[in-house]
A = this chain, B = another copy of it.
Amino acid sequence: MADETKDVLDQNAQAQLKTIIERVERVEAEEAEQRAFKKDIYAEAKSSGYDVKALKKVVRLRKVDRAKRQEEQAILDTYCHAIGEVV
């Protein structure tokens, strides 16, 4: 009996699996890069005399503002759709 019969995945599946894992790991590597970028930006800001904690708070606030606006827009769209109105 040949060796490959012990494998529950055929060669195509194995290759596909390998591709999936590598794609995920590539994306995660890029995520790590982005984190490093962000760290660098804040470090640079700090060395320019900015309060990093305050900067982060600003970013966070703007994020929730965006989320709120999107939420409000979604509700508005829903209502407009309900009354058959095109915005």
A: residues with CB less than 8 A from B are 8, 16-17, 20-21, 23-25, 27-28, 30-31, 34-35, 37-38, 41-42, 44-45, 48, 50-51, 53-55, 57-65, 67-68, 71-72, 74-75, 78-79, 82-83
A75 and B51 contacting across the interface, CB-CB below 8 Å:
no
Chain B residues near A45: list those with CB within 8 A. 20
Q: A60-B71, A71-B64, A72-B61 are in contact. Are A24 and B51 (CB under 8 A)?
A: no
Q: A61-B72, A65-B68 are in contact. Are A37 and B41 (CB under 8 A)?
A: no
B28 and A58 contacting across the interface, CB-CB below 8 Å:
no
Q: A23-B41, A64-B68 are in contact. Are A82 and B54 (CB under 8 A)?
A: yes
